[in-house]
Amino acid sequence: MTSPAAEPRSSPGGRGGARRSLGAALALGALLPAAATADVAAPADDLFERFEVVIGAERYQTVLTGFFLGGAVADVAVVSVDEDEGRLVRIYAFGEGGWAEKVDAALRPGVSFVDVAGIGGRERLITHEPGRLSWFDPDSATERVLVEVATSYNPTPAGLRYGDGEPAGPVDEGEIPHLDVARDVNGDGRDDLILPDLEGFRVLVQKRDGGFAAPVRLGPPEPFRDAIARGARRSYGEVGISALTAPWYLGRMHEVDYDRDGRGDLVFWHEDQFDVHYQDADGLFDPVAETFTTGVAFDSDGAYSLLFGLGDAGTMRLILGLRASSRRTVLHSFRDLNGDRVADLVTLSLEGRSLLRQRSLYEVHFGAPAPGGTSFAREAGTAIRPPGGQPWGYSAAWFEDFDGDGQVDFAFGRVRTGIGGMIRALLGGSLGMDLELYRGADGLYPDRATVRRRITTDFDPRGGRDAGFFPAVLVGDVSGDGRSDLLVGKSREELHVYLGVPGPELLASAPRALAVTVPGDERNSWLVDLDRDGKQDLLMHHPSATEPHRLTVLMAR
């Protein structure tokens, strides 16, 4: 594993983002490419207008976007730590010729993570330090207290993953990560604050005047707080809330209109039942939970829980499958898949001996109105069985309306981790991936994929993420036609774009190619609508150990 201090890194983020990244979706491993068939790629220069922004030379940078200065195009905020450990922020505003620096200010010395939130009708940079959250005022170049609230944030050293070693000591002094704690959980169009905790969640609802209601603790304690993952030396609870684990904690909170009154409620799995905190007419949540059961069998909530079911088997036994076959089922999500305005419940089952050849099964249990709430069918109403294995940490699956027809489709992607695929990746410098799309119709899915793409990109694991090439695979609408497009880092110097198409194919069979420098780390590329034109724009951060960092912006035309 590369030392976290060896090279610069970035932490991307921002607002407005259909930031669907296959790489980001695989929280348990590195990912993942897609794109290249035998078809010749046509030029894609007409799709984007290109801008280059020089954003400073600090070793670690967190790049976020938001309408901080009130312009028509989003600003770029760069948060970093200087050589004297001072916290800094620079804001670049869009003008003639591109983005230029407008604000250069110091942040409070205790800032440990950042986010972006809409507050009082204006997007703000949010900073966290022990005991308080603040918002940065660009007019006075100071931070103003937003809320005073205890948090359980516990920075994890850069570059470590839970289960790969002991995450001891403070976060690397150069890293201030982006944590997604601001989101609209009550559907009123205003961002609220969700702070995960070992004992549940602190939820602060934003009021009409831009202030926040008193924090209320919701949800049960973290069920795996005392568990120790294979390879770790501390319990999950001792590791605590960090940039790594926060998405896993936040994934335990489900937004479901359980009582079907038009207001979303917050639902949590708790031992052998669900806790539901109802939303009232003022947008607040009842701190006292009611409970319900479903009759749907599963072992735990969230794929992260699978970390704690691997036992003591060694790494090679897990990879080669030299152990007894196992099967575990987890709660995947709640979502209305058949368009009847009632949430459906989705489970994921993984079965097999080898972590690289797990067979997967996604089952949908349709919801139906019931007295006082919602019932979920005990038996699955439809199921998706992707062929082949679902390699642990090298696959991703999600529901999305790809073609804008109002029906929810299903996408599944995986790296080819068989012997041939691994040899080609390690010796041939290329990585293969299978992408399968299942077109939905009233919540039902076909037995076989509607569309299959076998795609290849360059791959270079030498030097880890800092020096190698782990290409980005992103999904978003860059053409503005309401259909999802697929963007792939084909090589260090070429981006491929598969445009969404009408009809059953969903994606064009041949890509459009753009000559542009692509970051070697897929986490440094993301999509966001910068000018509110309904088209996703692409941002690519290029860290450097020897010269100032650059940000490439591809604005969708």
- pLDDT tens string 394-439: 678 899 999 999 999 999 888 766 656 666 666 657 777 788 999 9
Residue 441 has pLDDT above 60, yes or no: yes
Higher pLDDT, 190 or 12: 190
Q: Classify residue 101 as exposed, middle or buried by CB count within 10 Å of its CB (0-12, 13-18, 19+).
A: middle
Q: What is the pLDDT of residue 481?
A: 95
- pLDDT tens string 370-389: 999 999 999 999 999 988 66
- pLDDT tens string 325-356: 778 999 999 999 999 999 999 999 998 777 66
- pLDDT tens string 114-161: 999 999 999 999 999 999 999 999 999 999 999 999 988 987 654 445
Contact 163, 230 (CB under 8 A): yes
Q: Which residue has the tokens 């030299």?
A: 322
**Calpha distance 204→199 (Å, rounded):** 16
Please choose, from the candidates 12, 74, 76, the residue with its C-alpha nearest in 3D space to the C-alpha of residue 532. 74
Per DSSP, helices labelled H in 155-245 are 236-239
* Element containing residue 216 per DSSP (H, E): strand 216-218
Angle at 556 between CA 434 and CA 450, to 5 degrees: 30
**Calpha distance 534→524 (Å, rounded):** 22
Residue 183 has pLDDT above 60, yes or no: yes
- pLDDT tens string 462-480: 655 555 667 788 999 999 9
Per DSSP, helices labelled H in 428-483 are 464-467
Q: What is the pLDDT of residue 231?
A: 72
Contact 439, 409 (CB under 8 A): yes
**Calpha distance 461→459 (Å, rounded):** 7
Which residues make Cβ contacts (< 8 Å) with residue 400, sequence separation at least 6? Answer: 20, 408, 409, 411, 475, 484
Pairing, β 216-218 against β 359-365: unpaired
Of the given ranges (129-138, 165-174, 191-200, 236-245), which has the lowest mean pLDDT? Answer: 165-174
Looking at this protein, which amino acid is placed at residue 120? G
Please choose, from the candidates 314, 317, 311, the residue with its C-alpha nearest in 3D space to the C-alpha of residue 353. 317
pTM over 0.95: no
Please choose, from the candidates 289, 445, 462, 427, the residue with its C-alpha nearest in 3D space to the C-alpha of residue 382. 445
Q: Which two tokens stand for residue 361?
A: 């099964």
Average pLDDT for 81-89: 91
Average pLDDT for 65-72: 97
Average pLDDT for 522-540: 96
Per-residue pLDDT band at 35 (split at 50, 70, 90): very low
